[in-house]
Amino acid sequence: MQKTSDQKLNRNQSVYENLWKSLLPFTLPDYSSHIRLWTYGLFANINDFAPELVALCGLSLIPEMILIKAETEMDEVMKKKLQKLDESLRHPEAAALSTSRKKKKKKKKIQQEVGSQEGELQDEEEPYPDTVVKSIEESNSSVQPFTPPVVNSRRWHQTSLRWRPKLEKLANMDANKTYKLGSLTLVIDPKFLIARGSDGTQVFLGLRNDGTEVAVKRMDKFNYQDLKNEEEFLRLPELESTSIVRYVDFAEDDNFGYLALQLCEYTLEEYIQEYLPDDCAERSLVLKKLVKEVLCSLQVLHQPQTKVLHRDIKPQNVLIDIKGKAKLADFGISRRLKQGETTIRTSIAGTRCWKAKETIKEEVNTGYKRSSDIQVAGMLVYYILSGGHHPFGEDVDCEYKILQGRYSLEHLDDDVGKDLVEWMINENPEERPTVEQTLEHPFFWTDERRVRYLKILGNEKEAENNRNADKELLEAIAKYTEGKSFSEWKTKVSKTSVQSI
Protein backbone atom coordinates (compact mmCIF):
# COMPACT_ATOMS: atom_id res chain seq x y z
CA MET A 1 0.00 0.00 0.00
CA GLN A 2 2.74 2.46 0.99
CA LYS A 3 4.75 1.58 -2.11
CA THR A 4 1.76 2.28 -4.37
CA SER A 5 1.21 5.72 -2.70
CA ASP A 6 4.89 6.62 -3.13
CA GLN A 7 4.81 5.59 -6.80
CA LYS A 8 1.66 7.68 -7.33
CA LEU A 9 3.27 10.71 -5.61
CA ASN A 10 6.43 10.41 -7.70
CA ARG A 11 4.36 10.09 -10.86
CA ASN A 12 2.26 13.17 -9.95
CA GLN A 13 5.39 15.14 -9.09
CA SER A 14 6.86 14.25 -12.48
CA VAL A 15 3.69 15.41 -14.25
CA TYR A 16 3.63 18.73 -12.35
CA GLU A 17 7.35 19.24 -12.95
CA ASN A 18 6.82 18.97 -16.72
CA LEU A 19 3.80 21.27 -16.44
CA TRP A 20 5.55 24.05 -14.55
CA LYS A 21 8.59 23.89 -16.82
CA SER A 22 6.22 24.55 -19.74
CA LEU A 23 4.35 27.33 -17.92
CA LEU A 24 7.21 29.29 -16.32
CA PRO A 25 8.30 31.12 -19.52
CA PHE A 26 4.78 32.62 -19.82
CA THR A 27 5.27 34.56 -16.57
CA LEU A 28 8.12 36.59 -18.10
CA PRO A 29 7.70 40.24 -19.26
CA ASP A 30 8.12 39.08 -22.88
CA TYR A 31 4.42 38.14 -22.87
CA SER A 32 1.35 40.35 -22.48
CA SER A 33 0.02 41.06 -18.99
CA HIS A 34 -3.13 39.08 -19.88
CA ILE A 35 -1.13 35.91 -20.61
CA ARG A 36 1.02 36.40 -17.52
CA LEU A 37 -2.05 36.91 -15.33
CA TRP A 38 -3.67 33.64 -16.34
CA THR A 39 -0.38 31.76 -16.12
CA TYR A 40 -0.02 32.88 -12.52
CA GLY A 41 -3.66 31.83 -12.14
CA LEU A 42 -2.75 28.27 -13.16
CA PHE A 43 0.06 28.22 -10.61
CA ALA A 44 -2.41 29.53 -8.01
CA ASN A 45 -4.70 26.56 -8.70
CA ILE A 46 -1.81 24.11 -8.33
CA ASN A 47 -0.67 25.88 -5.17
CA ASP A 48 -4.14 25.38 -3.71
CA PHE A 49 -3.63 21.60 -3.37
CA ALA A 50 0.11 21.06 -3.89
CA PRO A 51 1.99 24.06 -2.41
CA GLU A 52 5.12 22.01 -1.79
CA LEU A 53 5.43 21.39 -5.54
CA VAL A 54 4.99 25.08 -6.44
CA ALA A 55 7.64 25.99 -3.85
CA LEU A 56 10.18 23.88 -5.77
CA CYS A 57 9.51 25.25 -9.27
CA GLY A 58 11.39 28.57 -8.95
CA LEU A 59 8.38 30.79 -9.65
CA SER A 60 9.20 34.51 -9.32
CA LEU A 61 7.17 36.94 -7.15
CA ILE A 62 3.90 38.10 -8.71
CA PRO A 63 4.41 41.64 -10.13
CA GLU A 64 2.20 44.36 -8.66
CA MET A 65 0.71 45.14 -12.08
CA ILE A 66 -0.50 41.53 -12.39
CA LEU A 67 -2.10 41.63 -8.93
CA ILE A 68 -3.85 44.90 -9.79
CA LYS A 69 -5.07 43.47 -13.09
CA ALA A 70 -6.45 40.44 -11.21
CA GLU A 71 -8.67 42.78 -9.16
CA THR A 72 -10.65 43.69 -12.27
CA GLU A 73 -10.42 40.52 -14.38
CA MET A 74 -10.72 37.59 -11.94
CA ASP A 75 -13.60 36.39 -9.79
CA GLU A 76 -13.38 36.40 -5.99
CA VAL A 77 -12.34 32.74 -5.77
CA MET A 78 -9.40 33.17 -8.15
CA LYS A 79 -8.35 36.46 -6.52
CA LYS A 80 -8.12 34.70 -3.14
CA LYS A 81 -6.09 31.87 -4.67
CA LEU A 82 -3.73 34.35 -6.30
CA GLN A 83 -3.31 36.26 -3.03
CA LYS A 84 -2.56 32.97 -1.27
CA LEU A 85 0.10 32.17 -3.90
CA ASP A 86 1.56 35.67 -3.50
CA GLU A 87 1.82 35.20 0.28
CA SER A 88 3.51 31.81 -0.23
CA LEU A 89 6.08 33.29 -2.61
CA ARG A 90 6.81 36.26 -0.33
CA HIS A 91 6.99 34.18 2.84
CA PRO A 92 8.13 30.66 1.82
CA GLU A 93 9.11 29.72 5.40
CA ALA A 94 5.62 30.43 6.72
CA ALA A 95 4.05 28.56 3.81
CA ALA A 96 6.28 25.55 4.43
CA LEU A 97 5.39 25.58 8.15
CA SER A 98 1.69 25.74 7.32
CA THR A 99 2.00 22.82 4.89
CA SER A 100 3.97 20.83 7.47
CA ARG A 101 1.29 21.41 10.11
CA LYS A 102 -1.44 20.27 7.72
CA LYS A 103 0.52 17.10 6.98
CA LYS A 104 1.05 16.40 10.70
CA LYS A 105 -2.61 17.03 11.39
CA LYS A 106 -3.60 14.64 8.62
CA LYS A 107 -1.11 12.03 9.87
CA LYS A 108 -2.40 12.36 13.43
CA LYS A 109 -5.97 11.89 12.21
CA ILE A 110 -4.96 8.73 10.34
CA GLN A 111 -3.16 7.43 13.44
CA GLN A 112 -6.24 8.11 15.55
CA GLU A 113 -8.44 6.27 13.07
CA VAL A 114 -6.02 3.35 12.94
CA GLY A 115 -5.78 3.34 16.74
CA SER A 116 -9.56 3.36 17.01
CA GLN A 117 -9.84 0.41 14.64
CA GLU A 118 -7.14 -1.50 16.58
CA GLY A 119 -8.95 -0.74 19.83
CA GLU A 120 -12.16 -2.20 18.47
CA LEU A 121 -10.30 -5.33 17.37
CA GLN A 122 -8.69 -5.67 20.81
CA ASP A 123 -12.08 -5.31 22.49
CA GLU A 124 -13.37 -8.13 20.34
CA GLU A 125 -10.34 -10.47 20.54
CA GLU A 126 -8.83 -9.65 23.99
CA PRO A 127 -11.55 -8.56 26.40
CA TYR A 128 -9.29 -8.05 29.44
CA PRO A 129 -10.53 -5.22 31.69
CA ASP A 130 -7.16 -4.61 33.36
CA THR A 131 -5.30 -3.85 30.12
CA VAL A 132 -4.32 -0.19 29.68
CA VAL A 133 -3.49 1.20 26.23
CA LYS A 134 -1.50 4.48 26.28
CA SER A 135 -1.98 7.20 23.69
CA ILE A 136 0.96 8.54 21.65
CA GLU A 137 1.12 11.65 23.85
CA GLU A 138 1.16 9.61 27.07
CA SER A 139 3.87 7.22 25.90
CA ASN A 140 6.24 9.99 24.83
CA SER A 141 6.81 12.53 27.59
CA SER A 142 9.13 14.66 25.41
CA VAL A 143 6.26 15.73 23.13
CA GLN A 144 4.74 19.04 24.27
CA PRO A 145 1.45 20.58 23.05
CA PHE A 146 1.89 23.29 20.37
CA THR A 147 1.70 26.82 21.77
CA PRO A 148 1.25 29.59 19.14
CA PRO A 149 3.70 32.48 19.45
CA VAL A 150 2.40 35.67 21.02
CA VAL A 151 2.24 38.39 18.37
CA ASN A 152 1.70 42.05 19.19
CA SER A 153 -0.72 42.73 16.32
CA ARG A 154 -3.60 45.13 15.72
CA ARG A 155 -6.66 44.90 13.49
CA TRP A 156 -5.84 45.17 9.82
CA HIS A 157 -8.10 44.68 6.80
CA GLN A 158 -5.62 43.89 4.05
CA THR A 159 -6.44 45.72 0.81
CA SER A 160 -3.36 47.41 -0.65
CA LEU A 161 -0.82 45.38 -2.61
CA ARG A 162 1.83 48.02 -3.10
CA TRP A 163 1.98 49.01 0.57
CA ARG A 164 1.30 45.59 2.10
CA PRO A 165 4.86 44.81 3.35
CA LYS A 166 5.05 48.15 5.22
CA LEU A 167 1.52 47.83 6.57
CA GLU A 168 2.36 44.36 7.83
CA LYS A 169 5.25 45.83 9.83
CA LEU A 170 2.96 48.55 11.18
CA ALA A 171 0.26 46.04 12.13
CA ASN A 172 2.75 43.97 14.16
CA MET A 173 4.88 46.77 15.58
CA ASP A 174 5.26 47.29 19.34
CA ALA A 175 2.89 49.96 20.61
CA ASN A 176 5.75 52.01 22.09
CA LYS A 177 7.21 52.45 18.58
CA THR A 178 4.01 53.80 17.03
CA TYR A 179 2.17 57.11 17.39
CA LYS A 180 -1.44 56.74 18.56
CA LEU A 181 -3.68 59.68 17.79
CA GLY A 182 -7.39 59.20 18.44
CA SER A 183 -8.47 56.25 16.32
CA LEU A 184 -5.33 56.42 14.17
CA THR A 185 -2.05 54.53 14.51
CA LEU A 186 0.95 55.61 12.45
CA VAL A 187 4.74 55.72 12.57
CA ILE A 188 6.41 59.09 12.04
CA ASP A 189 9.40 57.64 10.25
CA PRO A 190 10.79 58.06 6.70
CA LYS A 191 10.26 54.32 6.14
CA PHE A 192 6.49 54.87 6.35
CA LEU A 193 6.46 58.16 4.41
CA ILE A 194 4.72 57.62 1.06
CA ALA A 195 4.41 61.16 -0.36
CA ARG A 196 5.38 64.80 0.13
CA GLY A 197 3.57 67.97 -0.87
CA SER A 198 5.12 71.22 -2.10
CA ASP A 199 3.60 73.05 0.88
CA GLY A 200 5.40 70.90 3.48
CA THR A 201 2.68 68.26 3.70
CA GLN A 202 3.86 64.74 4.52
CA VAL A 203 1.79 61.62 3.89
CA PHE A 204 2.32 58.54 6.11
CA LEU A 205 0.88 55.05 6.08
CA GLY A 206 -1.54 54.41 8.93
CA LEU A 207 -4.16 52.07 10.36
CA ARG A 208 -7.47 52.98 11.96
CA ASN A 209 -8.77 51.15 15.03
CA ASP A 210 -11.28 49.27 12.86
CA GLY A 211 -8.41 47.96 10.68
CA THR A 212 -8.89 50.35 7.75
CA GLU A 213 -5.72 51.17 5.81
CA VAL A 214 -5.28 54.93 5.47
CA ALA A 215 -2.99 57.58 4.01
CA VAL A 216 -2.46 60.22 6.71
CA LYS A 217 -1.68 63.76 5.53
CA ARG A 218 0.22 65.72 8.17
CA MET A 219 0.58 69.51 8.02
CA ASP A 220 2.09 72.05 10.40
CA LYS A 221 -0.61 73.84 12.38
CA PHE A 222 0.79 77.25 11.47
CA ASN A 223 -0.04 76.54 7.85
CA TYR A 224 -2.79 73.99 7.78
CA GLN A 225 -5.83 75.95 6.65
CA ASP A 226 -5.67 74.05 3.35
CA LEU A 227 -5.90 70.77 5.30
CA LYS A 228 -8.99 71.98 7.17
CA ASN A 229 -10.42 73.20 3.88
CA GLU A 230 -9.89 69.78 2.31
CA GLU A 231 -11.57 68.07 5.27
CA GLU A 232 -14.55 70.39 4.92
CA PHE A 233 -14.97 69.55 1.23
CA LEU A 234 -14.49 65.80 1.60
CA ARG A 235 -17.18 65.69 4.30
CA LEU A 236 -19.76 67.20 1.94
CA PRO A 237 -22.47 64.59 1.26
CA GLU A 238 -22.38 65.61 -2.42
CA LEU A 239 -18.75 64.43 -2.68
CA GLU A 240 -19.46 60.94 -1.36
CA SER A 241 -18.66 59.21 -4.62
CA THR A 242 -16.49 56.35 -5.86
CA SER A 243 -14.90 58.93 -8.18
CA ILE A 244 -13.50 60.97 -5.26
CA VAL A 245 -10.84 59.88 -2.74
CA ARG A 246 -12.76 58.98 0.43
CA TYR A 247 -12.50 60.91 3.70
CA VAL A 248 -11.81 58.62 6.70
CA ASP A 249 -10.86 60.66 9.79
CA PHE A 250 -9.31 63.85 11.15
CA ALA A 251 -7.14 64.45 14.25
CA GLU A 252 -4.69 67.00 15.61
CA ASP A 253 -2.03 67.35 18.27
CA ASP A 254 -0.17 70.40 19.60
CA ASN A 255 1.86 70.94 16.42
CA PHE A 256 0.13 69.26 13.48
CA GLY A 257 -3.18 68.49 11.82
CA TYR A 258 -3.77 64.96 10.46
CA LEU A 259 -6.21 64.10 7.66
CA ALA A 260 -6.79 60.36 7.11
CA LEU A 261 -7.87 59.40 3.59
CA GLN A 262 -8.56 56.27 1.61
CA LEU A 263 -5.23 54.62 0.78
CA CYS A 264 -4.59 54.30 -2.97
CA GLU A 265 -1.81 52.54 -4.86
CA TYR A 266 -0.36 55.18 -7.21
CA THR A 267 -0.60 58.74 -8.42
CA LEU A 268 -1.67 59.08 -12.05
CA GLU A 269 1.88 60.25 -12.81
CA GLU A 270 3.40 57.03 -11.42
CA TYR A 271 0.79 54.86 -13.12
CA ILE A 272 1.29 56.43 -16.56
CA GLN A 273 5.10 56.26 -16.33
CA GLU A 274 5.55 52.77 -14.88
CA TYR A 275 2.46 50.57 -14.69
CA LEU A 276 0.61 50.65 -18.03
CA PRO A 277 0.06 47.34 -19.87
CA ASP A 278 2.63 46.38 -22.52
CA ASP A 279 0.04 45.32 -25.09
CA CYS A 280 -0.89 48.31 -27.31
CA ALA A 281 -4.60 47.48 -27.64
CA GLU A 282 -4.91 46.86 -23.92
CA ARG A 283 -3.01 50.05 -23.13
CA SER A 284 -5.34 52.08 -25.36
CA LEU A 285 -8.40 50.75 -23.52
CA VAL A 286 -6.86 51.52 -20.11
CA LEU A 287 -5.98 55.10 -21.14
CA LYS A 288 -9.49 55.76 -22.46
CA LYS A 289 -10.93 54.35 -19.22
CA LEU A 290 -8.69 56.66 -17.15
CA VAL A 291 -9.77 59.71 -19.18
CA LYS A 292 -13.43 58.91 -18.62
CA GLU A 293 -12.91 58.33 -14.88
CA VAL A 294 -11.09 61.67 -14.49
CA LEU A 295 -13.93 63.49 -16.25
CA CYS A 296 -16.53 61.64 -14.16
CA SER A 297 -14.65 62.82 -11.05
CA LEU A 298 -14.86 66.41 -12.30
CA GLN A 299 -18.54 65.92 -13.08
CA VAL A 300 -19.17 65.16 -9.39
CA LEU A 301 -17.58 68.51 -8.47
CA HIS A 302 -19.30 70.59 -11.16
CA GLN A 303 -22.84 69.27 -10.77
CA PRO A 304 -25.46 71.96 -9.91
CA GLN A 305 -25.99 70.82 -6.32
CA THR A 306 -22.22 70.74 -5.60
CA LYS A 307 -20.68 73.65 -7.56
CA VAL A 308 -17.10 72.97 -6.45
CA LEU A 309 -14.10 74.27 -8.43
CA HIS A 310 -11.03 72.07 -7.92
CA ARG A 311 -8.42 74.65 -9.06
CA ASP A 312 -5.42 72.30 -8.81
CA ILE A 313 -5.95 69.53 -11.37
CA LYS A 314 -2.68 67.78 -12.23
CA PRO A 315 -1.28 64.20 -12.53
CA GLN A 316 -0.15 64.13 -8.88
CA ASN A 317 -3.68 64.96 -7.67
CA VAL A 318 -5.33 62.01 -9.38
CA LEU A 319 -4.90 58.73 -7.50
CA ILE A 320 -5.30 55.15 -8.71
CA ASP A 321 -6.94 52.70 -6.31
CA ILE A 322 -6.44 48.95 -5.92
CA LYS A 323 -8.89 48.25 -8.78
CA GLY A 324 -7.12 50.61 -11.18
CA LYS A 325 -9.82 53.29 -10.91
CA ALA A 326 -8.83 56.97 -11.11
CA LYS A 327 -10.06 59.29 -8.35
CA LEU A 328 -9.67 63.04 -7.95
CA ALA A 329 -7.86 64.10 -4.76
CA ASP A 330 -6.37 67.10 -2.93
CA PHE A 331 -9.05 69.73 -2.35
CA GLY A 332 -6.86 72.04 -0.25
CA ILE A 333 -7.35 75.09 -2.50
CA SER A 334 -10.78 74.16 -3.89
CA ARG A 335 -13.62 76.66 -3.61
CA ARG A 336 -17.41 76.40 -3.74
CA LEU A 337 -19.63 78.69 -5.77
CA LYS A 338 -22.49 80.34 -3.91
CA GLN A 339 -26.04 80.26 -5.13
CA GLY A 340 -26.22 82.11 -8.45
CA GLU A 341 -22.42 82.53 -8.73
CA THR A 342 -20.46 81.44 -11.81
CA THR A 343 -17.10 82.96 -10.88
CA ILE A 344 -14.93 83.07 -7.76
CA ARG A 345 -12.28 85.78 -7.42
CA THR A 346 -9.20 85.08 -5.28
CA SER A 347 -5.43 85.41 -5.49
CA ILE A 348 -3.79 83.17 -8.09
CA ALA A 349 -3.83 79.45 -7.26
CA GLY A 350 -2.72 76.20 -8.83
CA THR A 351 0.51 74.62 -10.01
CA ARG A 352 2.88 75.93 -12.67
CA CYS A 353 1.93 74.68 -16.16
CA TRP A 354 -1.41 73.38 -14.84
CA LYS A 355 -3.36 76.64 -14.89
CA ALA A 356 -6.04 78.01 -17.20
CA LYS A 357 -5.13 80.94 -19.45
CA GLU A 358 -7.46 83.42 -17.72
CA THR A 359 -6.01 82.59 -14.28
CA ILE A 360 -2.40 83.26 -15.37
CA LYS A 361 -3.12 86.75 -16.67
CA GLU A 362 -4.24 88.14 -13.31
CA GLU A 363 -2.20 87.47 -10.17
CA VAL A 364 -4.69 89.20 -7.87
CA ASN A 365 -8.47 89.14 -8.03
CA THR A 366 -8.20 86.18 -10.39
CA GLY A 367 -11.51 84.87 -11.72
CA TYR A 368 -12.08 81.10 -11.59
CA LYS A 369 -14.97 79.36 -13.35
CA ARG A 370 -15.93 75.79 -14.15
CA SER A 371 -14.43 76.41 -17.60
CA SER A 372 -11.06 77.09 -15.90
CA ASP A 373 -11.10 73.54 -14.53
CA ILE A 374 -12.10 72.29 -17.99
CA GLN A 375 -9.05 73.76 -19.75
CA VAL A 376 -6.66 72.22 -17.22
CA ALA A 377 -8.57 68.92 -17.37
CA GLY A 378 -8.02 69.04 -21.17
CA MET A 379 -4.27 69.29 -20.56
CA LEU A 380 -4.58 66.26 -18.28
CA VAL A 381 -6.57 64.30 -20.88
CA TYR A 382 -3.73 64.86 -23.35
CA TYR A 383 -1.19 63.90 -20.67
CA ILE A 384 -2.99 60.57 -20.22
CA LEU A 385 -3.56 59.74 -23.90
CA SER A 386 -0.01 60.74 -24.93
CA GLY A 387 1.62 58.71 -22.18
CA GLY A 388 2.90 61.61 -20.07
CA HIS A 389 3.27 64.66 -22.35
CA HIS A 390 1.90 68.19 -21.84
CA PRO A 391 0.19 69.99 -24.79
CA PHE A 392 1.97 73.25 -23.91
CA GLY A 393 5.26 71.61 -22.94
CA GLU A 394 6.79 71.81 -19.47
CA ASP A 395 9.79 74.05 -20.09
CA VAL A 396 10.28 77.61 -18.84
CA ASP A 397 7.92 79.15 -21.39
CA CYS A 398 5.04 76.72 -20.75
CA GLU A 399 2.74 79.33 -19.22
CA TYR A 400 3.66 81.82 -21.95
CA LYS A 401 2.50 79.23 -24.50
CA ILE A 402 -0.76 78.79 -22.57
CA LEU A 403 -1.32 82.56 -22.77
CA GLN A 404 -0.54 82.52 -26.52
CA GLY A 405 -2.65 79.41 -27.16
CA ARG A 406 0.35 77.64 -28.74
CA TYR A 407 0.04 73.90 -28.19
CA SER A 408 1.25 70.69 -29.84
CA LEU A 409 -0.63 67.36 -29.94
CA GLU A 410 2.11 65.50 -31.83
CA HIS A 411 2.19 62.61 -29.33
CA LEU A 412 -1.47 61.71 -29.94
CA ASP A 413 -2.42 59.78 -33.09
CA ASP A 414 -6.16 59.44 -32.44
CA ASP A 415 -7.89 62.26 -34.38
CA VAL A 416 -11.09 61.95 -32.35
CA GLY A 417 -9.05 62.21 -29.15
CA LYS A 418 -7.29 65.29 -30.56
CA ASP A 419 -10.66 66.89 -31.27
CA LEU A 420 -11.72 66.37 -27.63
CA VAL A 421 -8.47 67.85 -26.29
CA GLU A 422 -8.59 70.87 -28.62
CA TRP A 423 -12.17 71.58 -27.58
CA MET A 424 -11.26 71.48 -23.90
CA ILE A 425 -8.05 73.56 -24.09
CA ASN A 426 -9.61 76.29 -26.24
CA GLU A 427 -8.13 79.63 -25.15
CA ASN A 428 -11.61 81.20 -25.09
CA PRO A 429 -13.39 80.06 -21.87
CA GLU A 430 -16.80 80.61 -23.51
CA GLU A 431 -16.02 78.08 -26.24
CA ARG A 432 -14.93 75.27 -23.92
CA PRO A 433 -17.41 72.44 -23.27
CA THR A 434 -19.03 71.60 -19.94
CA VAL A 435 -17.87 68.36 -18.34
CA GLU A 436 -21.19 66.74 -19.36
CA GLN A 437 -20.51 67.68 -22.99
CA THR A 438 -17.01 66.16 -22.87
CA LEU A 439 -18.50 62.83 -21.73
CA GLU A 440 -20.87 62.90 -24.73
CA HIS A 441 -17.98 63.44 -27.18
CA PRO A 442 -17.61 60.79 -29.97
CA PHE A 443 -14.28 59.78 -28.39
CA PHE A 444 -16.32 57.79 -25.85
CA TRP A 445 -18.78 56.32 -28.35
CA THR A 446 -18.90 52.58 -28.91
CA ASP A 447 -18.36 51.21 -32.43
CA GLU A 448 -22.09 50.42 -32.58
CA ARG A 449 -23.03 54.03 -31.84
CA ARG A 450 -20.58 55.33 -34.46
CA VAL A 451 -22.07 52.99 -37.07
CA ARG A 452 -25.59 54.09 -36.14
CA TYR A 453 -24.59 57.77 -36.43
CA LEU A 454 -22.96 57.27 -39.83
CA LYS A 455 -26.04 55.41 -41.09
CA ILE A 456 -28.28 58.27 -39.97
CA LEU A 457 -26.04 60.75 -41.82
CA GLY A 458 -26.11 58.50 -44.89
CA ASN A 459 -29.90 58.63 -44.97
CA GLU A 460 -30.07 62.44 -45.00
CA LYS A 461 -31.41 63.96 -48.20
CA GLU A 462 -28.25 66.01 -48.59
CA ALA A 463 -26.21 62.81 -48.53
CA GLU A 464 -28.55 61.25 -51.11
CA ASN A 465 -28.00 64.25 -53.40
CA ASN A 466 -24.22 64.03 -52.99
CA ARG A 467 -24.30 60.52 -54.43
CA ASN A 468 -25.21 62.12 -57.74
CA ALA A 469 -22.43 64.71 -57.47
CA ASP A 470 -20.42 65.81 -60.49
CA LYS A 471 -17.76 63.22 -61.31
CA GLU A 472 -15.08 65.83 -62.12
CA LEU A 473 -15.73 67.59 -58.84
CA LEU A 474 -15.27 64.33 -56.88
CA GLU A 475 -12.00 63.64 -58.73
CA ALA A 476 -10.74 67.15 -57.87
CA ILE A 477 -11.60 66.64 -54.20
CA ALA A 478 -9.81 63.29 -54.19
CA LYS A 479 -6.75 64.90 -55.78
CA TYR A 480 -6.44 67.75 -53.26
CA THR A 481 -7.15 65.59 -50.21
CA GLU A 482 -4.59 62.96 -51.19
CA GLY A 483 -2.19 62.37 -48.30
CA LYS A 484 -4.46 64.24 -45.87
CA SER A 485 -6.12 62.55 -42.88
CA PHE A 486 -9.60 62.58 -44.50
CA SER A 487 -8.42 60.64 -47.54
CA GLU A 488 -7.71 57.72 -45.22
CA TRP A 489 -10.93 58.01 -43.22
CA LYS A 490 -11.53 54.26 -43.37
CA THR A 491 -8.36 53.67 -41.37
CA LYS A 492 -9.81 55.81 -38.56
CA VAL A 493 -12.84 53.53 -38.18
CA SER A 494 -12.78 49.85 -37.18
CA LYS A 495 -13.12 47.27 -39.99
CA THR A 496 -16.39 46.06 -38.46
CA SER A 497 -17.83 49.57 -38.64
CA VAL A 498 -16.76 50.02 -42.29
CA GLN A 499 -18.34 46.69 -43.26
CA SER A 500 -21.55 47.61 -41.42
CA ILE A 501 -21.76 50.88 -43.38
Q: pLDDT tens digits, residue range 272-326? A: 999 999 899 899 999 999 999 999 999 999 999 999 999 999 999 999 999 999 9
Range of the domain at 195: 164-263
pLDDT at 63: 77
Residues 409 and 469 in one domain: no
Q: Given a cut of 70, is residue 105 above it in pLDDT?
A: no
C-beta separation of 185 from 207 below 8 A: yes
Provide the pLDDT confidence category of residue 232 given band limits of 50, 70 and 90.
very high
pLDDT of residue 108: 57
- Domains in the chain, number: 4
Task: Please check whether residues 395 and 484 belong to one and the same domain.
Answer: no
% of the chain exceeding 70 in pLDDT: 75
Quick: pLDDT tens for 202-212: 999 999 999 99
Are residues 229 and 315 part of one domain? no
The region of weakest confidence among 91-95, 442-446, 483-487 is 483-487
Q: What is the mean pLDDT of the chain?
A: 82
Q: What pLDDT, in 10s, does the model give residues 121-134? A: 455 444 434 433 34
Statement to judge: residues 80 and 171 lie in one domain = no
Same domain, 473 and 494: yes
3-state secondary structure of 203: strand
| Cβ neighbours of residue 492 closer than 8 Å, sequence gap 6 or more | 415, 416, 485
In-domain check, residue 485: yes
Q: Which residues fall within 8 angstroms of residue 160, CB to CB, at 6 or more apart?
A: 167, 213, 263, 265, 322
Residue 100, helix vs strand vs coil: helix
**Ranges assigned E (strand) in 397-473:** none
Asked whether residue 101 is domain-assigned, the answer is no
Contacts with 204 (C-beta within 8 Å, 6 or more apart), sequence order: 186, 187, 188, 192, 193, 194, 215, 216, 218
Question: Which of these three, 230, 246, 263, is where a domain ends?
Answer: 263
Residue 108, classified by CB atoms within 10 Å of its CB into exposed (0-12), middle (13-18) or buried (19+), is exposed
Q: pTM here?
A: 0.67
Query: What phi, psi does 249 have (nearest 5°)?
Result: -165, 165
